[in-house]
Structure 1
């Protein structure tokens, strides 16, 4: 483990030097060689580049969390863009364009692209859309021929996704007038502190429908924190490898997340022994793996999140390779799989190539 960490640190610092070298080369085309400014530049860059690490240890400085999030987005796209910028500058050597002019305008163009990506990414992250799916389950429920479900995943409530984001979520959910609300995981972003400090439990209680949730890989319990109790006292009913039957006969099955290495997760087949399969069965499983197992065990609808649809393009190409259904709707046999790209974000407050969403599922029973 120590060797792996050392390798990661070495690679990260090499890439950081590559980014810093490009940045200073561009600045020199504007102000020339100035040693004092050069030293200041490198010091600021290093502090900026490690702000996300400092934020993990200094909870009282939320500004570090924001700086770290901005840096991660900046780092990601600079790594993608700079090789093309360097190639462009190199090719201008075979033209009549002066080398210094090529560097200067390549730098300005990169800055403009980055600003454009950040404006788009922040807008997509904080402006959710509603995606609606209409499905049919060939089973009957008591007293209704249909049900209106709203699902939201991956809120990642934190310093960057706080009370205003939660209020917007509740407002959007209530406007859809759901009969049932499902939260399949990643309600918090590793740390329960911001969730409590920002009063999000009381905000979630304003949802005007029953809310059921399952754990995600970022819903981590500290040794002195009873996360199950906190969630249950926040207007939600948490299902952690549990089965519950609603008054209309619909069965909800909520699973513990597969990301926990130290937690025993029951097999789905064992959970389904408690289920009346003649009634509709809805499974909350944060990570959309093992769709075939869910289908073989008689699940009618599986709702998931986790993928963020890559969150930042071209990350969607990776999630598309990793998951049978990384976003949207897929029917597998009699089972319907719906995966949300998520309401919140992880790491950086950006979404590019995807948008924050709330999912509405209208089910007709026959």
Structure 2
């Protein structure tokens, strides 16, 4: 009963916030343009259709194919986020500055440019980013880790896009490939067509993955089925010795909520003093304490570096290590902005990326 109430509360909060965003953008648009009669009715109808498209697609997808409806709703979420941010800046400027121009035309132009640019950023595909880390242990050879996260395979994923991602990964010729959550974002019958392509990823020591929050949203069994079909090793709150004394620890995202994260990691820390402990954890949390416990390198994702406004500004408030490489003593954390996108196939002020980490 408690779980049902929490789900209901979360859904209510989402609907309230999302509905408020739609209403604010609608009011901002009609305030800057004189609309009346049938045109106003059409605008209102459009907001109702667009505002409910994504939710409708998610509800209906278990019965019928809703890729077009989901895509429409996802794009609208991105447009809504960008529009709300720019209109807020416009309203704040009008309130603070004694200017005659209401700036609505400027806001419309900026919104249009940002929307178009955000599509092109994703269309270009993930960029390759190389990161060098000095291993605190003097023993052992250099190791290259290809870090992916937030691929979000689902009804909106293009097979051509995934093919390009796999080619880029293979061209990097890494010793191992790790996927830190949110790889599978739909039912297995929808994503199974991507398994052969993911199975073609080449890495000397294998491909490893952990579950993120979206794997649990869609049903964790879909994740396990996909990884089995794609020949990906799932690290489910366990560790494995890889390459030259690298103790690879994989933690399911559920442990973050359960409060048992530190206890489990403590059990899996390499007992050999020469072990180099690499932690795969979807959310970039707990690094301060985990570094004290003996984690030498934490690899995370989840944040997308905000992906779109206004989240670009909000995500760093919740996650201090929201993006990039950070260090504490001899320990490091790298949080990737993600290989794909969630929801809107759009990015602004951030790139999708494939990260090659050279541990030397």
Q: Shorter-normalised TM-score: what interval? A: 0.7 to 0.9
Matched, 1:208 2:210: no
Paired position in structure 1 for 2:302: 306
Does the 8 Å contact 1:161/1:344 carry over to 2? no
- Pairing partner for 1:71 from 68, 76, 79: 76
CA drift of 1:90 comes to 8.6
CA drift of 1:159 comes to 2.4
Instruction: Please say which of residues 7-16 and 338-347 is displaced more in the overlay.
Output: 7-16
Does the 8 Å contact 1:251/1:275 carry over to 2? no
Would you tell me which structure has more helix in proportion to its own residues? Answer: 2
Paired residue secondary structure (2:213) = coil
Paired position in structure 2 for 1:53: 55
CA drift of 1:347 comes to 2.0
CA–CA distance in structure 1, aligned partners of residues 175 and 216 of structure 2: 29
**Could you say which structure has the larger radius of gyration?**
1
Aligned length: 347
Does the 8 Å contact 2:196/2:230 carry over to 1? yes
Does the 8 Å contact 1:217/1:259 carry over to 2? no
Instruction: Please say which of residues 128-137 and 19-28 is displaced more in the overlay.
Output: 19-28
Paired residue secondary structure (2:355) = strand
CA–CA distance in structure 2, aligned partners of residues 64 and 130 of structure 1: 32
CA–CA distance in structure 2, aligned partners of residues 87 and 314 of structure 1: 15
Query: What are structure 1's unaligned runs of at least 5 residues?
Result: 96-101
Paired position in structure 2 for 1:18: 24
Calculate the TM-score normalised by the size of structure 2: 0.85
Does the 8 Å contact 1:133/1:361 carry over to 2? yes
CA drift of 1:138 comes to 3.7
Superposition pairs of residues 1-366 of structure 1, within 5 angstroms: 1=5, 5-6=11-12, 9-10=15-16, 12-28=18-34, 33=36, 35-59=37-61, 60-85=65-90, 95=100, 106-126=103-123, 127-139=125-137, 145-196=141-192, 199-209=193-203, 210-220=206-216, 225=221, 227-258=223-254, 267-272=264-269, 275-364=271-360
Does the 8 Å contact 2:139/2:274 carry over to 1? no
CA drift of 1:93 comes to 10
CA–CA distance in structure 2, aligned partners of residues 268 and 91 of structure 1: 50
Paired residue secondary structure (2:117) = helix
Cα pair distance change 1:22/1:226, threshold 3 Å: closer
Does the 8 Å contact 1:305/1:339 carry over to 2? yes
Instruction: Please say which of residues 79-88 and 170-179 is displaced more in the overlay.
Output: 79-88
CA–CA distance in structure 2, aligned partners of residues 340 and 188 of structure 1: 17
